[in-house]
Chains A and B, each alone.
Chain A
Amino acid sequence: MRPLTDEETKAMFEKLSKYIGENIKLLVDRPDGTYCFRLHNDRVYYVSERILKLATNIARDKLVSLGTCFGKFTKTHKFRLHVTALDYLAPYAKYKVWVKPGAEQSFLYGNHVLKSGLGRITENTSQYQGVVVYSMADIPLGFGVAAKSTQECRKLDPMAIVVFHQADVGEYIRHEDTLT
């Protein structure tokens, strides 16, 4: 377990900012104590300092997880967000997409969001903007990348993809083993 290097921090923050924009600083400067990012087994954990101190007592090979896992660095040193970060992305998300109840299940199985399943979308979402996907009951289901801007979405044919799937909460069941 170690703090992130500058490159790593940059890579991660760039990725995060796609979803929550400048709200990142709300993650770093929190009123309820110091929170920090730590790298452990190529995974980035977001954790309170108090917990971090206790966790330093635990041997590296015995420590499985701490705080919240945000994602991992791939072998090519790119950062990939995990669905476990959704808890922090959803409240700060700038651009949101709501899917209809019928399309919920499809998205939770790892499929892209189609125009037919699109319930609502935030105004002026640009193309390739990171978006958080919600159900119509405002339950965050995952996140992805807008395939089309809001304007283009209006005149799309129903089977066209609106949001590219990146992560969804169905992974808690489908990929339980690879979450950490």
Chain B
Amino acid sequence: MGRKLDPLRKVPRGPGRKARKQHGAENELKNILQEDTEAKRMSSRGRKRALKRRMLQEQKAAAKPPAKSNANAKLKIGEKKVLPGFTDDNAEWLKPVKRARKEEDEESEDDSEEDNEEEEEGDEMEEVENGMEEEVDEEMEEKSDEREDAEEESEDEDGDDEEEEDGDEEEDGDGEFGESLSLSDSDDLQDDYGTSSGDEKDLLPIERASKKEKKKQKSEEALTGEESTIQLNVDSEELFQLPTEEELEKELSTAPDLVTVQERIKDIVGVLQNFAQRGGGRTRQEYLKVLKKDLATYYSYGDYMIETLSELFPVSELVDFLEACEVQRPITIRTNTLKTRRRDLAQALINRSVNLDPLGKWSKTGLVIYDSSVPIGATPEYLAGHYMLQGASSLLPVIALAPQENERVLDMCCAPGGKTSYMAQLMKNTGIVVANDMNADRLRSVVGNLHRLGVTNCIISNYDGRQISKVLGGFDRVLLDAPCSGTGIISKDPAVKTNKSVQDVQRCAHIQKELILSAIDALDAQSQTGGFMVYCTCSITVEENECVVDYALKKRNVKLVPTGLDFGKEGFVRFKERRFHPSLRQARRFYPHTHNMDGFFIAKLRKFSNTIPKPNKDEETETPSPDQLNEDKATKQKATKRKAPEENDVKDNTAKKEGGNEKMPKKKGGNEKTPKKGGNVKAPKKKGGNEKAAKEKGANEKEPEKKAQKKKVAIKKAHMKKAVKVTGNKNKKKVASKKKKMFKKKTNK
């Protein structure tokens, strides 16, 4: 028996040499054993031991409930009562909730596990007590066993707990015995049916102890876990009640408690997602109203911004978006492939203890900077022009534009030159890139960046983007990164949260519409390789994006083409009361919470004809859609605010639209148009011949006009201009509606 106590001894596993020889013996043995199961022959000692075991079992069973000193003992006992039979009699007990029943089941399983443990523990106790005795017993036994047949031997040894646990190699084919004992014996005897018994048996006592400990812990954890879920269930069943108006007002008077506000946000979002299950008969509007107010307080947004954003996103996404806007986007850099390779750059930066990673599959030049001990914008590599600090989102428009070598490309609003240099880089410094920006101060950084990055194919000009199509034209590709309200980059500029209003967005939208037309005019549809333009903004409002592109689709011979970016969300085709051209699906939107880059909009257009569609007079009577009316209002607001030269610009735009592709002098365009409208412009315009125009103009405009009529000739002239402008706008509407139809026809074809 000494071998059992030797922990260093390696116990051979698996079937031994003999087993291999005796092929098919198992089957025979099985038959024999089966016969044997009923009439069990035991040695006298074996019988004694079995009796002892049974007695112990009973004792244990009796002693068990009080022995459980766990906090959850009570619970278990309760379950035990339920457990014995899931009969029809006690079916009521099980009724409550499906979930609860499941838990009970789990717990009962747990229980049985506990039982096993207990039994094991008990066995060990026995082992310790009888340690020496049994050893002696065994020895004796073995001597006597020599005379007994194989069966009996196996029976005996199996019956002995200690043997079984210590793992003896002789213990194969003992299944039947276990079964026979199962009536009285514990479950764990039943367990080592067949071959699986090997594993546990080979363990040392210490290992066994630790295993037991682990098991116990596990079960306890499971229990506590269940408890916590139970706790949670209780919580969630407590229905959230919307605070009343008075409560809200009261809250407003005091400083808002952000924690409660945050919790309320969570609750309301939960309610809104499962609206049918809410308590009380409050309407969705009420919930939304409170939610918006709370979001505005919690994230400190202005009412207008929250309103706009909530129109763009469903509630759960809205919270995600606002949350994402609180966090800075990761710093990304773009390798300047004109001077270095990404691998070399990464190595150089890693040597400066910068922690970085490639940006993503879609970019071969981008790197993400996680952290760096040196300022990333002032390393010698940066100064030598090996990379450019650039947001991930601003790589996308250039990828979408995909400028080719030896092309003529225009970047209409280029500052600070990140996209421009990327274009030059993609073109490998061939062809021509015209970088234009209206702001001369911002152009300094463009000059610096382009020279630093070694771009040599660039012309930097300082035109107003709206005029550039008159100076330069025939470009193969145009990138228009239009100035915008910046609603997509709130994390960069949190001031956007509060300082944007309807007027700001409309003003931006108006400029964007002018710019996009100018950009399209600068394109050459006959270009062999191109004729593409990319329109992008770092804003996510529909007014600045889909509306603008839709407007361009109506005004010029362009169509949307896929951007070539395989991610991003589709552009809106319908938004509130607005309906856009279905091809706007091919535009792409990017959001901070879904793509971890700044909010961005990208649309790629292809110009298919250089002619500018003319207005069709048949459809003049058609009433403009509310959307168009809005646009026109915006233009008018804009126009009234602007100074003379810009007014000219508006007029010129309209003139062009009417006058085909001929470039007419500004004033002429206006004058020529007026006769078309039939007779004297001044009189019908001002005296209310056109009600719509008058309405739109608003009272404050009308009055000075009347005065002006009475006053000097010079002022009258100024008003003539205005009148012309109004007709221009009116015509715009007609043109738009007509063009819509024309476009439909085209697409149908």
Contact of A66 among B440, B444, B459 (CB under 8 A): B459
Interface positions, chain B 354-396, Cβ under 8 Å from A, are: 377-378, 380-381, 383-386
Give the docked Cα–Cα distance between A50 and B457 (Å): 9
Chain B's closest residue to A105 (CB) is B380
A35 to chain B minimum Cβ distance, whole angstroms, is: 9
Among the interface residues B383, B444, B454, which one has the most CB atoms of the partner chain A within 10 A? B383
Expressed in whole angstroms, the Cα–Cα distance for A138 and B454 within the complex equals 16
Task: Looking at the assembled complex, report how far the CB atom of A26 sits from the nearest CB atom of chain B, in whole angstroms.
Answer: 15
Bound CA–CA A80/B118 (angstroms): 93
B449-460 interface bits toward A, Cβ cutoff 8 Å, 1 = contact, 0 = none = 111101011111
B549, CB-defined interface residue at 8 Å: no
Q: Does B616 sit within 8 A of A, measured CB to CB? A: no
B448's contact among A57, A62, A68, A176, by CB below 8 Å, is which? A176
Complex contacts, B378 vs chain A, CB 8 Å: 173
Compute how far the CA of A68 lies from the CA of B456 in the bound complex, rounded to whole angstroms.
6
A179 touches B451 (CB 8 A): yes
Min C-beta distance of A89 to chain B, whole Å: 12
Contacts of A135 in B (CB 8 A): 380
Instruction: Check B533 for interface membership: any CB of A closer than 8 A.
Output: no
Q: What A residues does B446 contact at CB under 8 A?
A: 64
B454 closest partner in A (C-beta): A87
- Nearest-neighbor residue (CB-CB) of A84 within chain B: B451
Q: Which residues of A contact B443 (CB under 8 A)?
A: 64
Scoring B378, B384, B450 by chain A CB atoms within 10 A of each residue's CB, the highest score goes to B384
Asked whether A54 lies within 8 Å of B459 as measured between CB atoms, the reply is yes
Report if A170 contacts B (CB, 8 A): yes
On whether the beta carbons of B408 and A64 are closer than 8 Å, the reply is no
Q: Is A146 an interface position by the 8 A CB rule?
A: no
Contact of B77 with A by CB under 8 A: no
A52: nearest residue on chain B (CB-CB)? B459
B459's contact among A51, A108, A169, A170, by CB below 8 Å, is which? A51
Asked whether B444 lies within 8 Å of A180 as measured between CB atoms, the reply is yes
* A157 at the B interface (CB under 8 A): no
B380–A141 touching, CB < 8 Å: yes
Q: Which of A47, A58, A68, A140 contacts B461 (CB 8 A)?
A: A58
Q: How many residues of chain B have a CB within 8 Å of chain A?
A: 34
Within 8 Å of chain B (Cβ to Cβ): is A159? Answer: no
- A54 contacts B451, CB within 8 Å? no
Asked if B383 contacts A169 (CB within 8 A), the reply is yes
The answer, yes or no, to whether B471 is at the interface (CB within 8 Å) is yes
Q: Mark B527-551, 1 if CB is under 8 A from A, else 0.
A: 0000000000000000000000000
Q: Tell me whether B463 and A62 are in contact (CB under 8 A).
A: yes
Chain A residues in 8 Å Cβ range of B348: 137
Q: How far is the CA of A69 from the CA of B447 in the complex (A)?
A: 9
Q: Give every chain A residue within 8 A of B380 (Cβ-Cβ).
A: 104-105, 108, 135, 139, 141, 169
A165 to B595, CA, bound (A): 46
B408:A172 contact, CB within 8 angstroms: no
CB nearest neighbor in B for A180: B447
Are the CB atoms of A173 and B454 closer together than 8 Å?
no
Are B448 and A64 in contact, CB atoms less than 8 angstroms apart? Answer: no
User: Which of chain B's residues have a CB closer than 8 A to the CB of A68?
Assistant: 451, 456
State which residues 462-478 of B face A: CB under 8 Å: 462-463, 471-472
The answer to whether B458 touches A67 (Cβ under 8 A) is yes
Return the contact of A63 from the options B384, B444, B451, B459 (Cβ within 8 A): B459
Query: For residue B434, which residues in chain A have a CB less than 8 angstroms away from its CB?
Result: 54
Contact in complex: B452, A67 (CB < 8 Å): no
Contact with B along A87-129 (1 / 0, CB 8 A): 1000000000000000011001000000000000000000000
Q: Complex Cα distance A180/B377, Å? A: 21
Q: CB within 8 Å of B: which residues of A?
A: 47-48, 50-51, 54-55, 57-59, 61-69, 84, 87, 104-105, 108, 135, 137, 139-141, 169-170, 172-173, 176-177, 179-180
- Given A57-B472, A58-B471, 16 new contacts (CB under 8 A): A47-B456, A48-B457, A51-B457, A51-B459, A54-B472, A58-B461, A58-B472, A66-B460, A69-B451, A87-B454, A105-B380, A135-B380, A139-B386, A169-B380, A172-B448, A179-B451
A to B CB contacts below 8 Å, 18 in the list:
A47-B456, A55-B459, A57-B471, A58-B463, A58-B471, A62-B462, A63-B460, A63-B461, A64-B440, A64-B461, A67-B459, A68-B456, A84-B451, A108-B380, A108-B383, A140-B384, A169-B385, A173-B378
